Structure 1
């Protein structure tokens, strides 16, 4: 898949998510609950509706996560952490202290409360859902994206943390351009085209404004910017 197609795929699901205090995107028996956090972060509940088991992605605001768990009547089994930065992993310890022992997954020993260090290709389960770990170093050396599928259906979702945003990618804090290219094109870009993308921040407008400064005559870009506003 070409990078342009990948960005278009993200645009379909990412623009305007922050306009909602909470929202649902349903993929048959996999439900993703979007939980905005801090100023522009996203946390996510990944719910297997068949078993009522769920995972949370980057629970930086544990109180919001706990309220969502009660609201949905689901059992949290797993914490999926994309990387060690405080605005993604900073709530892990508090959440575990409040809810008790859970599996805390990530690709970096700097992640708080980590119980299982994973790397590229490692797999785990959320109820009946399959989770595949995708190693995407660059923003941080241990960054992991999580690709989630329902074995009974072709729909899928990927949680990209600070590797891929709508119309942009994460800063290169601990990696190289070659690593980011591999992450975007060779790893995320080869996922099935129907895969829904859930990123770690709402940077859509700023990313598109930057793109407009580079390509001021790009009509498709201008249209997407107006939509994002």
Structure 2
């Protein structure tokens, strides 16, 4: 039975995520951006978390770690490479690590780029992945602590997951990402249709997530470095995949 996911807003544009395994009743959080919305979600659902899956060290993902640990006595799991920057961390993980959660075995995927030690959490039994600030709907994270080649390798790992994998990301950036994507891939009919849907969702103040790996492969330019039309639009027909990705990321930085 698939995990249950309660998604909600924190801070200005962060997503908070509360998870429950229906087979065991175990509950976890993915990151801890802000205490008050998390406590409201706990009260609303009746789900009391025992664990935080931390993706990376940025303050808007760990701000509530210590307060929640004090309140619930929960355990905090996070990337080994960033253990000195994650408040309250109890257990470190990296590429190939597994973490038991309820009836599932969670697979850790090392996805550096946005930060040097960023990880994503894949729940293969539920066909869900939590990518935080590595892969966004129609986008990817800014490269603060690693070069483009590193992020490209991370995105290749996520792109290789089954197409029907549901993707939860760290921020509501999709509207801006869609507008940028159309400058890179303007003739993509699937992207055009998705952009219209996103405009309507945001006009109604509705979230644009979750997405799927398949939908991102069809419309997200940051995963479409091999697409001939994109390469022609960029004048990079003979470039490497990593070079095409780096150019798209550079253009997004200046968008």
Could you state the TM-score of these two structures normalised by the residue count of structure 2?
A: 0.73
Shift of 1:179: 1.1
Q: Which residue of 1 aligns with 2:163?
A: 193
The SS at the match of 2:195 is: helix
Shift in Å, 1:160: 0.2
| Alignment-derived partner of residue 205 in structure 1 | 175
Show the 5 A alignment for 1:57-136: 57-100=30-73, 102-107=74-79, 108-109=82-83, 110-136=85-111
Between structure 1 and structure 2, the one with the greater Rg is: 2
State whether structure 2 residue 140 is matched by structure 1 residue 169.
Answer: yes
- Please list every run of 5 or more consecutive structure 1 residues that lacks an aligned counterpart in the other structure: 1-27
User: Which secondary structure state, in structure 1, belongs to the residue aligned with residue 197 of structure 2?
Assistant: helix
Contact 1:138 1:174 (C-alpha < 8 Å) held by counterparts: yes
Assess if the C-alpha contact under 8 Å between 2:9 and 2:37 holds in 1: no
Distance (whole Å) between structure 2 residues aligned to residue 184 and residue 119 of structure 1: 16
Of Structure 1 and Structure 2, which has the larger fraction of its residues in helix? 2
Is contact 1:52–1:75 with CA below 8 Å preserved after alignment? no
Distance 1:29 1:146 in 2: 15
Describe the SS at the equivalent of 2:192.
helix
Aligned-partner Cα distance in 2 for 1:79–1:214: 37
Mind listing any 5+ residue stretches in structure 2 that lack a counterpart?
A: 200-255
Distance in 1 between residues matched to 2:160 and 2:187, nearest whole Å: 29
Aligned to 2:151: 180
1:56 aligns with 2:26: no
Q: Which has the higher strand share?
A: 1
Partners of 1:30 and 1:217 in 2: how far apart? 37
Deviation at residue 117 of structure 1 after TM alignment: 1.4
3-state secondary structure, aligned to 1:76: coil
Give how far 1:71 is off. Answer: 3.0
Secondary structure of 2:159 counterpart = helix
Q: Give the Cα separation in 1 of the matches to 2:2 and 2:181.
A: 37
Residue 14 (structure 1) aligns with:
none
Picking from 194, 200, 221, the partner of 1:224 is 194
- Greater relative contact order (Cα 8 A, min sep 6): structure 1 or 2? 1
Post-superposition Cα deviations, 1:138-182, rounded to whole Å, max 9, x if no partner, equal 1001101000133xxxx4100001000011100010011111111
Q: Is the 8 A contact 2:69 2:75 kept in 1?
A: no
**SS in structure 1 of the partner of residue 50 of structure 2:** strand
Q: Write out the 4+ residue segments of structure 1 that deviate beyond 3 Å after TM superposition.
A: 215-219
RMSD: 1.4
Structure 1 pair 116–123 and aligned structure 2 pair: CA distance change class (3 A): same
